[in-house]
Amino acid sequence: MRCPHCSSLDDKVLESRQNASGSSIRRRRECNACGYRYTSYERIEDKPLMVIKRDGRREVFDLNKIGRGIRSCTEKLNISENELDQLLQNIEDAIMLKVGSRREIHSSAIGDEALKQLKEVDLVAYVRFAAVYKAFNDLGQFILEIQKLGSELT
């Protein structure tokens, strides 16, 4: 594995961990040349997961796209990068478990899973994500969502 810092090919693996679904392995590495530490991921290459959009189009599942949405709704909140990475991993794991061998999922199921996972991390981030995902267009929709959250918490 090439070091992203000095481009050396001499490294050692410090730690390896499988994700919950067993579909990927995360490895913490250290470059023997410069000492830089970095993370690599190994995944089985198989047919891509396809997302069925609201208009019927299909596109390849992209966790980075979810990551951009999650990062924008958690901006300026006290959520660490490690928590965000774990959140995205949990979302991906849950999606892969839902999909099974079908290799297709509706975008609404992805959004619902992201909301479910966000609710466990931060309620403000949840409401921010819900506003975009559910396309809130007036204050009443915000109020209803917050009231629904309040009744679920009590």
Residues 89-98: tens digit of each pLDDT: 999 999 989 9
104 plus 28 within the same structural domain: no
Q: Which residue has the higher pLDDT, 112 or 103?
A: 112
What pLDDT score was predicted for residue 14?
Answer: 95
Report pLDDT for 154: 63
pLDDT digits (tens, 9 = 90+) for 25-60: 999 999 999 999 999 988 876 678 899 998 999 999
Q: Are residues 85 and 131 in the same domain?
A: yes
Q: Quick one: CA torsion of 139, 144, 148, 154, rounded to 10 degrees?
A: 80
* Same structural domain, 102 and 130: yes
Both 36 and 63 in a single domain? no
24 DSSP β-pair partners: 43
Residue ranges making up the domain that contains 13: 1-45
pLDDT reported for residue 37: 95
- What number is the average pLDDT over the span 67-82? 93
Short-list 80, 70, 84, CA closest to 133:
70
pLDDT band of 135, cuts 50, 70, 90: confident
The verdict on 26 and 70 lying in the same domain is no
Residues 90 and 52 in one domain: yes
55 and 39 in a common domain = no
Q: How many domains does the chain have?
A: 2
Query: Are 53 and 114 part of one and the same domain?
Result: yes
Residues 37 and 89 in one domain: no
Specify the long-range contacts of residues 64-69, CB closer than 8 Å, at least 24 apart.
66/91, 66/110, 66/114, 69/114, 69/129, 69/132, 69/133
15 and 4 share one domain? yes
One domain, residues 20 and 72: no
pLDDT at 20: 74
| Token reading at 66 | 């979810």
